[in-house]
Chains A and B, each alone.
Chain A
Amino acid sequence: MQRRIFLKNSAMAMVGIGALPTWLAKSAWASTVSGRKKILVAVFQRGAADGLNVVVPYGEPAYYAGRPTIAIPRQEVVDLDGFFGLHPALGALQPLWREQQLAAIHAAGSPDPTRSHFDAQDYMESGTPGTKSTESGWLNRALGLDRHAGRSPLRAVAMGPQVALTLEGRAPAVAINNLSAFRLNGRGAAANALDADFEAMYDASSDAILRPAGADAFRALGMLKGLDAARYQPAAGANYPNAPIGQRLRQLAQLIKADVGVEVAFADVEGWDHHVAEGNTQGQLANSLRNLGDALAAFWLDLGPRQQEVLVITMSEFGRTVRENGSRGTDHGHANVMFALGGDVHGGKVYGDWPGLEEEKLYQGRDLAVTTDFRDVLSEAVEGHLGVADLGGVFPGFAADARRFRGFLRGRATMGA
């Protein structure tokens, strides 16, 4: 035990100067804890996905009444439970549903009424609806008041050019846009010397923003030395779509399988703001969903035995109007659907109280009402999967209450579905 601690600390000291051999780093992350760390992945559908066409309430006459041209016909949905069905473009997720690794939480969302993409995204990412001044994200805070020294520089990874608000905060977070480009590109001894000078320069900088960003970058670069991203071969049959979300999840799978200490991760998937010609079984939304579903299915297959450690939660800032608008699209709405995909998910079930789509049951007469606060879903994930006890620190100003949890994780007491 003592020796193991020594190994970890010395390994960390070396990571600090970017000289740690990758094998040593790996063994350090893989062996210091009994069993590996759990990993929570947040996928954000930016632009407000039309949840009613994602997990379709095909048993609701009002759904069809409000959507003469864009509804998914009853016979086309992938039936889930006799009332809800998946959009057919999400067919790749059907096996995961059947194996009970995938669950949906419907009519989930934010209590804040805003229909601004920007504000609603901020609120969902910060985890503090209605409060704009929060400068950190819930997923960063989920790493807790843990000491960050001695932890992997890749604990928190955003797959994209920038660290999204969801992952911003006290814990160092790394943005990786393209894993194979995430390396210093000089070659030879002279280039290595220059790299060292770059590192020393950032290390000694007095800049409050660039100094820590530089430190994070060099630690991450040191950790990833020797990882050949370009040659990565996903597990057999894991066919990632060429879309950005496919590439992001592919690189994330590579990081997870490389045992570099990832604990929380974030990936964006853009393009859900379908005000015009949204389409039904085919069309814009169908194309976006196909990419997302195929990417998630490939990611899951690719993880193989590592599925047990991973939980993926999807979210989108708000839903869309129940009734289609004047141009065969939908406008900004309220509640939406979230997915949970994980080894410890009690899947194959749509969770949540269904508020109904009749006029009098709609939020402000036009939108699906929220019956599950998105923070209850995320709280259950943070507590149940990551084992974080201090939910107040993750969602300040929100009294998380396990009795409200929907119970989509195994081993939790369930409440009405």
Chain B
Amino acid sequence: MAKIRMTGLGLALAAGMAGAAAGQQPAAQPAAQLSRQERVTQALDRLSWGITPGEVQQVEQTGLRKWIEQQLHPSSIPENPVLTAALAPLATLRMTPAEVIANYPPGGVIVQMARGLRPLPQDERLRRVVEGEIEAFRQRQQAGGKGAARGRGKRGRGGAEVGEPVVMGAPALRSFLTPEQVQAIETGGPRQRVAALESLPRAARERVLESLPRGEARQLAVWLPLEQERRIAYFLMPQQVVTLDLDGAKVLRAVYTTRQLQDVLTDFWVNHFNIDIAKGPDREYLEAYEREAIRPHVLGKFRDLLVATAETPAMMYYLDNWQSVRAGFRGRGINENYGRELMELQTVGVNGGYTQKDVDEVARCFTGWTIRGPLRQATFFYNPRLHDNGAKVVLGHSIAAGGGMSDGLKVLAILAASPATAHHISYELAQRFVADAPPAGLVNAMAATYLKTDGDLRQVMETMIASPEFWSPRYYRDKVKSPLELVVSSVRALGADVSNPTRLAQIIAGMGEPLYDKQPPTGYLNTGDAWASTSGLVARMNFARQLAADAIPGVQVDLTQFQPGTGTLPEVERSLLAGLLENQAGPGTNAAIEKMMRSAPAWADRTAATPAEVFNLAALMLASPDFEEK
């Protein structure tokens, strides 16, 4: 567990606390090579969302090389049926943006309906929900509120009085349940109340959900299975279901998918081509964006990925290009936002050699790349009438007049083929997967592969994974996990079941990484050190304690797996150390574990460890600096 950080900040910090650290033994020199088990750990730490119980041994048996090979070819891996079943109720995951808008109308659509610009939904159930929303919109308008601004942000309006039923006009609980049943559902802790609810036959349960007082429903929602939380949300604020599905699927996939690398890469590329859920209809566009523009291409050609992201309503809306038109068209003109971020963030990088003139020219090339019916068809659309058909010069390449939509495609091809892009993309991948300050040799090797293979991302990943740097002890367990990584890897390490990921997503947001909700186009940083803040550490320690105590709504943790039979405290300690920390704890963690063991009664090594002792050890290890890192 030697940790030597070569970043300037690390050195500065280390120097700054030299006095405080005086008297400590110097860290041991890293071994020249990782052991076999460490190599497996490194691969699982970096190429997956975290190690599950027994996984290191399994991979050792299958062979590490084979495991990596499979991960690089995800379609060869059968998907986990648990995940498939968990995602099945999340209907928006399979919808087009137009279908999402029609079935879960956002604020802007409610306003259109309220003004008679759009017919009410055919579906009886949805129509009742929408009528309630229109009514609320009108009331807000009369009260002098600012329109129906509720389409923005992740949260909806919240709705009517807390005592009213979830579905307006639904019969009261007491009209079809016994007084004892009503009391069981409305009193006690959330776990007991949910258990009471779940004990009812399915049909009755659905009636209860519709008749539950709104206040109760909101409190219970995160404790219920996600499918039922969605049902409640649908009646309270339908567009919130879209967010529940997006956030929920993100967490569920990370926890359960067998195609771990594909999922980690999808997260990486969604962040690289960032879209903010809070910007206009991007919430409704996001699922299709991830599903169609990102996930299929993460191990394909970068150019295909780039073109796929450009030809989406999500990107055109987020970076404002849908508004960019040839100068003078109805008094409007170009918008340079997409053109600039396309080069700075998505391809050649800020030092990629472009000028303001290039930004202007690229923006001209993309005029007319827009959206057909942002709240209706919601499809990407090239409109030749809006396009500037003059000749352009982009990064020294001439683009002849009259090219139409091919102007933009040419720009994307020029950018994808640029050595600066090869370097920028390689740097970011190496930063995410290897080290916060990636070694230049590694980045150059990856960039060379990129250029040699026409931007084949699978081969770039292969170069990275085959490099000596990837397996260097210097970077082993030396990268601080992001909130998403920390939360998911904790759940995976405990082999916990997730019946509702909503609270986990909220916890991740509270740690500073609200999912799909990074407002600026830079996305979240790929460096781990940025997450090692005081606020973040406090949140992480609280999470470790809550998770080990099995106190997180929607998550089921069973620590007895670490206590085979009547395991004694030393046995439990060994089992947890192996399961959670791969038997590798740093000096501070070891000292704290020893202290905890010593403070247990003397008979602790002869009789079964108590649940409190098991909890304390598990919480300690999950909160340890060792677990913070991958």
Contacts and interface: CB of A to CB of B under 8 A. Distances in A.
A148 B541 CA distance: 26
Contact of B336 (A117, A185, A325): A325
B8 A329 contact: no
B625 to A, nearest CB: 4
B344 A275 contact: no
Q: Is the interface of B mostly helix, strand, loop or mixed?
A: helix
B625 A181 contact: no
B545 A194 contact: yes
A275 B620 contact: no
B522 A117 contact: yes
Interface in A192-208: 194, 197-198, 200-208
Contact of A331 (B3, B337, B520, B529): B337
Interface string B585-614: 011110110011000000000000000100
Contacts, number: 219
A206 B1 contact: yes
Interface string A173-217: 011111001111110001100100110111111111111111111
Contact of B591 (A177, A200, A216, A364): A200
A168 B9 contact: yes
B326 to A, nearest CB: 9
Interface in A132-188: 133, 135-136, 148-149, 158, 160-163, 168-170, 174-178, 181-186
Interface stretch (B16-24, B39-47, B305-313): B16-24
A327 B386 CA distance: 13
A116 B344 contact: yes
B333 A135 contact: no
Contacts of B537: 202, 210, 213-214, 217
A43 B7 CA distance: 28
B261 to A, nearest CB: 26
A46 interface: yes
B592 A161 contact: no
Nearest to A69: B331
Q: Which of A133, A163, A211, A215 has the most CB of B within 10 A?
A: A211
A406 interface: no
B222 interface: no
Contact of A162 (B337, B533, B629): B533
Given A162-B533, A184-B538, A207-B3, A201 B589 contact: yes
Contacts of A148: 16
Give the interface residue-count category, chain B.
35 or more
A198 B541 CA distance: 8
A158 B533 CA distance: 10
A373 interface: no
A186 B336 contact: no
A213 B340 contact: no
A275 B511 contact: no
A208 B13 contact: yes
A177 B480 contact: no
A201 B593 CA distance: 9
Contacts of B205: none
Contacts of A327: 320, 323-325, 332-333, 335
B8 A209 contact: no
Contacts of A271: 519
A115 B588 contact: no
B436 to A, nearest CB: 9
Nearest to A186: B545
Nearest to B323: A327
B8 A135 contact: yes
Nearest to B334: A326
A220 interface: yes
A148 B12 CA distance: 14
Contacts of B340: 115-116, 331-332
Contacts of A203: 588
Nearest to A176: B535
A119 interface: yes
B534 A216 contact: yes
Contacts of A161: 511-513, 533, 535-536
Given A135-B12, A270-B519, A206 B587 contact: yes
A125 to B, nearest CB: 13
A175 B534 contact: yes
B327 A133 contact: no
B24 A212 contact: no
A325 B333 contact: yes
Nearest to A220: B534
Interface in B185-207: none
Nearest to B278: A271
A174 B538 CA distance: 11
Interface in B457-501: 480
A222 interface: no
Contacts of B629: 207, 210
B122 interface: no
Q: Which of B325, B335, B538, B624 has the most CB of A within 10 A?
A: B538
A201 B624 contact: yes
B531 A162 contact: yes
Contacts of A319: none
A220 B623 CA distance: 18
A205 B593 CA distance: 13
B72 interface: no
B332 A209 contact: no
A194 B619 contact: yes
A311 interface: no
Contacts of B319: 275
B616 A194 contact: yes
Q: Which of B4, B331, B532, B589 has the most CB of A within 10 A?
A: B532
B285 to A, nearest CB: 16
A276 interface: yes
Contact of A204 (B532, B539, B588): B588
Contacts of A162: 512, 530-531, 533, 535-536
Contacts of A208: 3-5, 10, 13-14
12 contacts: A116-B340, A162-B512, A177-B510, A185-B545, A200-B592, A201-B588, A201-B624, A206-B586, A209-B13, A212-B17, A270-B520, A328-B332
Closest 3 CB pairs of A and B: A326-B333, A161-B512, A204-B588
Given A181-B542, A209-B10, 19 more contacts: A160-B512, A174-B534, A175-B533, A177-B539, A178-B510, A181-B538, A194-B619, A197-B595, A204-B592, A205-B589, A207-B3, A211-B625, A217-B538, A273-B520, A275-B335, A326-B324, A329-B323, A331-B340, A332-B336
